[in-house]
Structures are given as C-alpha cells and as structure tokens.
Structure 1
C-alpha cells in the first residue's frame, strides 16, 4: 500500500501531497503528474519498495554546481533480508564526476551475461528550474527507458549531470520487476526515442555516433524479440519471412538465436550455470571504501 505508507509519514506541516491515479498510464505519466502537482525547486524520484539512506541529500547538496545530481545505488535482492532498511551500506568516497552525453549514452549499452548496471538506472535529484527552462518532461509513450531518455535529452540541452560514488539510494531487485519483463513494442519505442534524440541539431558527431550505437543495440533486441513473437503467433514461415526481409533484421536475429542455442548447449554440458547468480547485495557503480559504514 504505497499511498498508505506515504500518508503515514505526514508530519502535519502540509508538505505532503498524495496523488492516486485511477488508471495505470505508465511511469512517465505518473512522474509528470507528480512533478506538475508539486512545487519544490528540486525533484527526486523514489520507486515503490525502494528507500533513501540517511544523509543522502546532505551529500548531494554538498555542492551547487549541478542541474542533475545522482549517487550510487545499493541493489538488494528481495529475498536477501527481512528488513532491507536495516542493511548497513559501506561509506564510499564521493569521487565526483560529471557525465557528458557520450559517457552517459555509452553507459546504457548493456552486455550479455553481465549484471545490469546501466547509468539510466540512476535516480538523480533534478533541478525544476532546468526542466522548466528547457521544457523537459518524461516521454509518456515510453514504458521502458523513460529515465534514460529524459537524462539524455537534458544532457544534450547542457545539463550538468554530477555523479558521486557514495551510496544514498537502496533499490530492491525482484525477479519479476517491470523493467525486466517489458513488452516487445517497448523496445521499439525506446529505439525510436533514440532517433528523436538524433534529430537534435546541436549534437556533435561523436555524440551522434554513440547514440546510433545505442539505437542499434536496442533495435536489434527488438528485432530478435519480434521474430520470436511472430514465430510463436504465426509460425516459423512467417518468422522466416520477417527475418529475411532485410539484412538489418537477419543479422541480429541469427546472432541472437545462435547465442541462445549455444548458451543452452553450454548449460546442458555444464560449462555455464543454468542461472546467472544474483548476489544478495551489489552496487550500481564501483566505489572506494573509506572504511566507515552508515
């Protein structure tokens, strides 16, 4: 009961407003509605079941040289503890850096058999003034990658995106999370969002090159998923016709199917584990411990 938990935190100061949508219109719509219904000069997204660590905002607001400021995320497997809020996070050194467009987009290209750690997972504090100045909001057509798209567009508009390695956000990782079971069309919409970003005239060629790589990465995932959907719904003949319609379809489909078959073979002969081991606790970004805990 997210709404009930939120109301229980009301201190009577009038600062808390709980909005409840009658229809689930996706995360982008909900974020935009909350931003429009609030007045704070700074915005911080907190997903349901996640939590902030003590001292988070003190660390993020230690400097005022940013438009977006994000910290490390502690990723906790949902069965790892009875009360995740009692987990003590190591005290990492801040090691601040600023993300440029190329670094950010490159950091969102996932790799096979590697634990997910895309920079689009970051949950920055966002300057409302920057959003208003550039007319930015979440793309409500997206149900996958909506944070990535907003951050990328903001950095393309000149946002100073500061990242510190100290950990201030706790995220519960579930096997059935929405981000892990997106629909095929969600991938297509995300790839199309990259094409829209490519239309920004002010982007230098280096930024456009890495954006094209991200678009191909997502589009290839879509093509493979769509091939499998067509095969399941209309049979192998229709799926083959889709695959052979163009080399752009054929190459990622052949590569994806071959990789899946090879991985299945390796699992059968015991060369790889049947499931990727998910550690009970990990961090989105590597950090240097100061030897303290909080």
Structure 2
C-alpha cells in the first residue's frame, strides 16, 4: 500500500459467490485503495468465503456479515460507518475495476464526486479475458442537477445507459458536512437519490470520459425486476426533495422524474391487481383512478411492442459486443 492510498471501496453483496472474487481482486490491485469493505447482505451462499479467497494479505480487506438481507442502501451505510478513508468508491459485486482506474481519476481538488466511463460486457463473455478498452480523451465536464436527473429518465427500448449507472468516487467530507447517506428505505434508485440530494446541496460532480469501470450485463439482472413497493418509494423520494424550496429548473426536472417513476408504478400496480384479482377488477380499479390511465395504457402498449420486437430478433448464443455508457473520442496514449 502506498502513501497515496486514500480510497475505500465498498461492495454490497448478496449471493454473489460466483463473481465477488473478481470484484475484490480488482479493487485490491489498485495502489490508491487503502480499504475494501465487503458487506455480505444476508447471503445464503459462500459469498463471504469467496471474498476471503481473493484477499491479498495486505490487511486491507474487511468483511461485514449481516444476519439478514437489508438491501444495498443499508449495507453501504454500514460500510461507510466502518471505513475511515477520505474517498469512497462503490463497486457492484458482479462488476470490476479496470487496472489503474484511480491513478489519474482522483487527482485534483475541484470535485466532490467524480466518475469515469463504463464499459458494459455481456455476462456470457465477461470472464474470459480482461476487456480491451481504448484510451479515451478525458474531456472533463461537470454534471448539474438538471443533466443528472434528465439522464435518469429512461427511454423505452433504449440500451442500459442512464447517467445513474455512473459509479462516482465521493468525498467523505462532503457527505459528512451535508449529513448525506443512502436512504435505507430504498431498494431501487438509492444511488440516484443520494446523488440528486448531493447536487441540491451544491456538489461538484465531475465526469471524465476515460474508462475505468467494467459492468457485467445479465439478462436476469435484478435491476430489471422492480417491485411495486420499490417504485412507490422511489417516486416518494422525489416528492421529499420537491417538498423543499427549490429553483424552478430543479423543481421542473425533479417533477418530470417523479412523473416518470409514478407512471411505472401505476402500470406495475395495475398488473399486480390483474394477477391476483383478475382483469375486470384491475380495470375497475384503474377507472376509479383516471389520472393513472395514461401510464397504464401506454405501458401495456409499450410492453407488447417490445415483446413483439424481441420475438422478431434472431436468437444468438454469442456474447453481445462491449459498449460504453458515455460517447467518447479515442485519444493519443502518452
């Protein structure tokens, strides 16, 4: 460990024994990392043991075990409490860092949050070799609240690419000074909520376009299986932010995000009633709430259209080609 090591990497993991070793190893090989905190969030497999097997005997790996599953927000807050490092980086249990991620990324003091590009890799080819990533021009820029929230309003049929998928490094001092932690009521959008509240507090959120984070894309990802209650809590998080005095631009964009998430909730709520009580009862309930009808009708139509497109798309066992979250220009390696 070098004298410049100042990053704590936090990995919240549930039933991740197949992937956690690679995640831990990728964090421990970074010379700017002084702590790796794995929170075993009520796993029923050998997640903790697989984490230990990736240890490099430098004393930087810490494993916290929770007796039951609490969700990523709770797990990450426990890790933040346990750690001491001035910088905090989040790593998902099935993802990994590209070698050298932090060497240039965390230099400078003009940011409170800083994020780099993400390479998305099909899970069918994710463990064969380290991905070959071009050297992209950094092209640094700052993300404001409007750009961040707008980037989290997903477009139907679009590839996974919302700004909310960025994995910024966060300054502990900024979080502490502003009383910011993950909202433990959220099991969906907990990152979005924390970063939006930070931006409302004046966080300087810097983005560079070089790539240092590898995200593994799975067809059965839990991120695509939202519970109805999770969607409700997420739009309520927007309402909580909207309950405070805000500039008009912030109020407008947060209202649009709340409307977007509420629409997804209304559709999911309708489908829940249909599944448990039948189409007629679901239809009656929808008619009693006319403001929900556009979201329900539009959502059903959109789902059927996507299903039709999926059936027409030829099946393939070949991994999809890797792609990047942020458009970037290849630069000259110095």
- TM-score after normalising by structure 2: 0.81
Relative to structure 1, the CA distance from residue 29 to residue 231 in structure 2 (aligned partners, 3 Å threshold; closer, same or farther) is same
Q: CA RMSD in A?
A: 2.2
- In the alignment, which residue of structure 1 is the partner of 2:59? 14
Is 2:157–2:306's contact at 8 Å kept on the other side of the alignment?
A: no
Is 2:118–2:213's contact at 8 Å kept on the other side of the alignment?
A: yes
- In the alignment, which residue of structure 2 is the partner of 1:207? 250
Whether 1:284 aligns to 2:325 is yes
- In the alignment, which residue of structure 1 is the partner of 2:300? 257
Is 1:90–1:292's contact at 8 Å kept on the other side of the alignment?
A: no
Is 1:107–1:118's contact at 8 Å kept on the other side of the alignment?
A: yes
- Once the two structures are TM-superposed, the CA of residue 292 in structure 1 deviates from its matched residue by 5.1
- Once the two structures are TM-superposed, the CA of residue 176 in structure 1 deviates from its matched residue by 1.3
State the distance in 2 between where 1:132 and 1:255 align.
Answer: 42
Deviation string 1:189-233 (CA, Å, 9 cap, x unpaired) is 1111110111232x2111110111111111001101111111111
Select 2:186's aligned residue among 132, 142, 147.
142
State the distance in 1 between where 2:259 and 2:292 align.
Answer: 11
- Once the two structures are TM-superposed, the CA of residue 243 in structure 1 deviates from its matched residue by 1.2
State the distance in 1 between where 2:309 and 2:97 align.
Answer: 41
Select 1:42's aligned residue among 75, 87, 95.
87
Deviation string 1:55-112 (CA, Å, 9 cap, x unpaired) is 211121232210011111111110024435x111111111111111111000000101
Whether 1:25 aligns to 2:66 is no
State the distance in 2 between where 1:218 and 1:282 align.
Answer: 26
Question: 5 Å matches for 1:123-138?
Answer: 123-138=167-182
State the distance in 1 between where 2:324 and 2:70 align.
Answer: 30
Select 2:213's aligned residue among 169, 175, 187.
169
Is 1:92–1:287's contact at 8 Å kept on the other side of the alignment?
A: yes
Aligned length: 288
- In the alignment, which residue of structure 2 is the partner of 1:104? 148
State the distance in 1 between where 2:215 and 2:202 align.
Answer: 28
- In the alignment, which residue of structure 2 is the partner of 1:77? 122
- In the alignment, which residue of structure 2 is the partner of 1:117? 161
Relative to structure 1, the CA distance from residue 46 to residue 250 in structure 2 (aligned partners, 3 Å threshold; closer, same or farther) is same
Question: 5 Å matches for 1:215-294?
Answer: 215-264=258-307, 273=313, 279-290=320-331
State the distance in 1 between where 2:297 and 2:136 align.
Answer: 43
- TM-score after normalising by structure 1: 0.91
- In the alignment, which residue of structure 1 is the partner of 2:44? none
Structure 2, unmatched stretches of 5+, are: 1-16, 21-47
State the distance in 2 between where 1:195 and 1:110 align.
Answer: 19
Higher relative contact order (CA closer than 8 Å, sequence separation 6+): 1
Is 1:90–1:291's contact at 8 Å kept on the other side of the alignment?
A: no
State the distance in 2 between where 1:169 and 1:60 align.
Answer: 12
1:49 is paired with a residue of what secondary structure?
coil
- Once the two structures are TM-superposed, the CA of residue 260 in structure 1 deviates from its matched residue by 3.1
Relative to structure 1, the CA distance from residue 235 to residue 107 in structure 2 (aligned partners, 3 Å threshold; closer, same or farther) is same
